[in-house]
Structure 1
């Protein structure tokens, strides 16, 4: 482990085995296949490096002591600057990116946006409108899609635009799943205007069971996420090879989780609503089947 000045720890670049095992376990608990074994090893390794960085930054913003979080985010950003300056990284999550950044020609900007999202989490705890929440997703979720496209060498303006829709949808879906956990962390990602319109006081988010009013608000966000996911789904047909396989898995994860939320009738406080593996595989097959005919995605690509 690498001790930071004033306290706090990251795995250093020499002690990654335990960290990698923990990271793989976290990846298995995600709604979508982070780095499926259907992909070649080089792609899996690059995706896990990107996921490891994003996961580590999120953990800083959520799990470290509040007084330490901004300082630790500054430290990881400083290490990222060292990497892009051609100097050796000191911290494991950044050091693991070195080969990926070089081989895939990834710019620093998406990584900085992920760090900024977690800085925002320390000061902004509620969002008035859904549009404001989407503004947060531009920092917290959309950069991940950009990084995935860089990993596969499939970056273009239209694909990035579709990726943003998919990633924002996946972020909103995760917020629907984690309403109670987020509230316990002091954050509310359900738009306040929607809570007011439904007559759902904030106190309902702390209850042991999900009230009908809260279910209504969660269902509203899930429906919005479903619309975004549908708008972004043509990206699958706009990709080729292993990129298509991977991104179809992410889209399928969104669909499978939305189905799980519907099946649970948006009861998200007294249970962990997660998609079953069979549901994910079925959705993956459907996405690949329906979005692989020539032109299926390109006809709906937005202009660059």
Structure 2
């Protein structure tokens, strides 16, 4: 078992591999600690759902579920990622539901391996990604109906972008997140996802998902304008990570099998500055969402 310091170092290394700054040093220590606690829980649950022996995953996910109940009942959690949440949950008044939804997303990963339509995929994102954005808003004390709606758009976009990057890795795990109807329409049989290089039909399907993610990101980006201070800085960084990764996907011709697609830091920093300077009115964004 890793020591507390070893766990923190391992978690920080995983955070550095994300598309966006999980807990930027531009933020005060208290915010960074809370964000890392939330990330540590989400990352640990994902690791169980992806990397534990398949026979062990249901039992381990049950253990996380039971430990969350223990935490919210005021008892001492047994698992380190849940124990690390205790101060964050208390100081930020975070409800249990988003954490339970993250566990449910990983339960679904054990039984649902294909998605017929993009809407079906967004249904998965509502459990796998959107709760994280809601948790971030709780960390900063910036929860509102408008912000939740915009945050869900951003988080779904970030999840779709990551799924585009990880097509090969997910296929090796027995999962295909690219919508089946899009694969059929493009003439992209399952064998294309197991190839060493990305075929033109598969690139076309990835490009379609990237365009959809860009639309979601554009709709949700106005959340930054609704925030101020450190919350604005942090959320702008997440949005910027999405833009920078979309640019990396496009720049690589949507080749997601032959190379690792990751945003370069200068591109991320430039996108971060742009988002902070140019975000649109959140009220206008809400009107567009209401009429959609």
- TM interval, shorter chain, is over 0.9
How far apart, CA to CA, are the structure 2 residues paired with 1:134 and 1:29? Answer: 24
Match of residue 4 from structure 1: none
User: Displacement of 1:283 after TM fit?
Assistant: 0.2
Candidates 256, 266, 286, aligned match of 1:278: 266
Match of residue 282 from structure 2: 297
CA RMSD of aligned residues (A): 1.1
User: Displacement of 1:299 after TM fit?
Assistant: 3.1
How far apart, CA to CA, are the structure 1 residues paired with 2:102 and 2:69? Answer: 14
**Structure 2 counterparts to residues 174-213 of structure 1, below 5 A:** 174-213=162-201
How far apart, CA to CA, are the structure 2 residues paired with 1:197 and 1:274? Answer: 28
Match of residue 236 from structure 1: 224
Match of residue 141 from structure 2: 153
How far apart, CA to CA, are the structure 2 residues paired with 1:123 and 1:116? Answer: 11
User: Displacement of 1:140 after TM fit?
Assistant: 0.1
Deviations 1:180-225 (A, max 9, x none): 0000000000000000000000110000000000000000000000
TM-score, scaled to structure 1: 0.93
How far apart, CA to CA, are the structure 2 residues paired with 1:132 and 1:212? Answer: 24
Match of residue 116 from structure 1: 104
Match of residue 64 from structure 1: 52
Deviations 1:140-163 (A, max 9, x none): 000000000000000001100000
How far apart, CA to CA, are the structure 1 residues paired with 2:70 and 2:5? Answer: 23
Match of residue 129 from structure 2: 141
User: Displacement of 1:240 after TM fit?
Assistant: 1.1
User: Displacement of 1:267 after TM fit?
Assistant: 0.5
Between Structure 1 and Structure 2, how many residues are aligned? 289
List structure 1 segments (4+ residues) > 2 angstroms apart after TM superposition.
Answer: 295-304
Structure 1: any 5+ residue segments left out of the alignment?
A: 2-10
TM-score, scaled to structure 2: 0.97
Match of residue 202 from structure 2: 214
**Structure 2 counterparts to residues 42-53 of structure 1, below 5 A:** 42-53=30-41
**2:214 touches 2:246 (CA, 8 Å); kept in 1?**
yes
Residue 54 of structure 1 pairs with residue 42 of structure 2: yes
Point out the structure with the larger helix share: 2
**2:220 touches 2:285 (CA, 8 Å); kept in 1?**
no
**1:237 touches 1:298 (CA, 8 Å); kept in 2?**
no
User: Displacement of 1:82 after TM fit?
Assistant: 0.3
Candidates 63, 66, 76, aligned match of 1:75: 63
Aligned residue for 1:122, secondary structure, equals helix
**1:159 touches 1:301 (CA, 8 Å); kept in 2?**
no
Match of residue 7 from structure 1: none
How far apart, CA to CA, are the structure 1 residues paired with 2:286 and 2:271? Answer: 22
Match of residue 114 from structure 2: 126
Residue 253 of structure 1 pairs with residue 217 of structure 2: no
Structure 2: any 5+ residue segments left out of the alignment?
A: none
